[in-house]
Amino acid sequence: MSFGAWLELIASGVITGSIYALVALGLNLQYGLMRILNIAHGEFLMLGAFVTWVATTALGWSPLAMIPLSFALTMALGLVIHRLWFKRLTDTSPNVDVFEARALMVSFGLMFLVQNFASWVWGGELRGYDYLTDPVAIGSAQFAANKLLVLALSLVFAAALIVLLRTTLYGKGVRALMQSPTGAQLVGINTKTLHPLMFGIGLGLSGVAGCLLSMTYTIAPAMGEPYTVTALIVITLGGFGSMGGALAGGLLLGVVEAIGMHYTSPSLKSLLSYSVFIAVLLLRPNGLFHRKR
C-alpha cells in the first residue's frame, strides 16, 4: 500500500474518531460528574443533525451557522430535562447506587421518547444534503473538504472543553466534584448550578457533533444509538470520568476501526468495536490509560 493510501486510511479513522471523541466527552461529563449514564445521549446528536438538516434544506441557512444554534438548542433541552427529572431523582434517591440504576432507566425512557418523536415528525428515511464536497489534495492523498472541516471543528470543540475544565474556576469545581462529591460540597462548590449546567453542556456537545456529522453523512432517526454505544466504548477505553482519556480513546477507536475494516470487511465494523469494548471492560475496567497511584 502506498503512503498516500495509508494517510487516507489513517485520516478517515481520525475523522470518525474525532466525532466519537466529541460525543464521548459529553457523555463522560455526565457520567463522571453526576453518575448519569445517559443512554439517550446519541439521540441528541440525532436531534442536532435533524435541526441542521431542516435549517439547511428548508430555510437555506449555512450548516456552519447552525453549530452554535444546535448547541444552544440541545443545551436548553438538557437544562429542561435536568430540571424536570434528574433533579427530582437526585433529591429522592437514598444513595448513589440506587441513583445510578434509576438514572439509567430514566435515560432509557428518554431514548425511546426522543427517537420515536423524531421518526414520528420526520419519518424513517435516510436524508442528507451537500455541503463543501470538493476534494482537497494534501500530499498524495485526497480528502473531501467537508470531512476536514468536521475534523478541525470537532477537535477545536473537544480541546476547548478540556482547556476550560483545566483552567477556569468552574472547571476546577467540576474536577473537584468528580474526585469527591462530598468534599467538593464541603468547600462550597455549588452543585445546584454546576450539575444542570454540565448536563446541558454535555448534551450541547452531542448536538454539535450531530450538526457536524450531518455535513458529511446521511442522517436517520435511528442514527443516535450506534453513537451512544460507541461513546460508551470510548469512555470505557479512556476510563470513566477522564476527559483526556476520552479524546485519546475516541481517536484510537476511529483508527482501529478504519484499519480493521480495511483488512477484513465493513460488515465486521460493529463486531470489531464490540469485541474491543468487551475485552477492555473485562481486562482493564479502569481504562487503558489508567495508572495505579
Partner 1 sequence: MNDRQILTRDLLVLFGLTGWALSLPYYGSEFAVSMALTCLMYIALATSWSLFCGTTRYLSLATAAFFGIGAYTSALTLDTQGWALAIAYGAGIATAVAVVMGALVLHLRGTYFAVLTFGMTELIRHAITTWEKQVTGTVGRVLAVVPERDTVYLTVLLLAVLAVATSIVVRRTRFGLAMRGIGSDEQRAQTLGVDTRLVKIAGFALTAAFAGAMGAAMSVRWTYIDPTTVFNPFIGFQTVLIALIGGAATLWGPLIAAIVFSLLAETLRLQLPQLYMMTLGLLLILSVLYLPGGLASLRWDTFKGWWNDTRAWWKEKRYEWSGDKARDERREKERRVVL
Nearer to partner 1, 157 or 277 (CB): 277
Residue 259 binds to partner 1 (criterion: CB under 8 A): no
Q: Read off the amino acid at residue 109.
A: G
Residue 271 binds to partner 1 (criterion: CB under 8 A): yes
Residue 232 neighbours by CB under 8 Å, 6+ apart: 27, 37, 277
Q: Read off the amino acid at residue 86.
A: F
The C-alpha atoms of residue 223 and residue 167 are separated, in whole angstroms, by: 34
Residue 80 binds to partner 1 (criterion: CB under 8 A): no
| The total number of residues written for the chain in this structure | 293
How is residue 59 written as a grid cell? Answer: 430555510
Please state the closest distance from residue 226 (CB atom) to partner 1, in A: 10
Nearer to partner 1, 38 or 146 (CB): 38
Nearer to partner 1, 8 or 43 (CB): 43
φ, ψ of residue 143 to 5 degrees: the values are: -130, 150
Residue ranges in 17-46 that form contacts with partner 1 under rule CB under 8 A: 37
Out of 64, 89, 162, 222, the only residue in the binding site for partner 1 (CB under 8 A) is 89
Is residue 271 within 8 A of residue 229, CB to CB? The reply is: no
The C-alpha atoms of residue 114 and residue 102 are separated, in whole angstroms, by: 18
Nearer to partner 1, 117 or 129 (CB): 117
Residue 116 binds to partner 1 (criterion: CB under 8 A): yes
The C-alpha atoms of residue 283 and residue 176 are separated, in whole angstroms, by: 28
Residue 88 binds to partner 1 (criterion: CB under 8 A): yes
Residue 190 binds to partner 1 (criterion: CB under 8 A): no
First to last CA, the chain: 43
Query: Strands, E, within the chain: which ranges?
Result: 135-138, 141-144
Out of 45, 111, 144, 189, the only residue in the binding site for partner 1 (CB under 8 A) is 111
Q: Write the DSSP assignment of 92-149 as a string of letters.
A: H-SSHHHHHHHHHHHHHHHHHHHHHHHHHHH-SS-B----S--EEEETTEEEEHHHHH
Site string for partner 1, 120-149 (x = CB under 8 A): x-----------------------------
Residue 232 binds to partner 1 (criterion: CB under 8 A): yes
Residue 115 binds to partner 1 (criterion: CB under 8 A): yes
Nearer to partner 1, 68 or 285 (CB): 285
Please state the closest distance from residue 201 (CB atom) to partner 1, in A: 21
Residue 277 binds to partner 1 (criterion: CB under 8 A): yes
Which residues are at the interface with partner 1 (CB under 8 A)?
Answer: 37, 85, 88-89, 92, 97, 100-102, 104-106, 108-113, 115-117, 119-120, 229, 232, 236, 267-268, 270-271, 274-275, 277-278, 281-282, 285
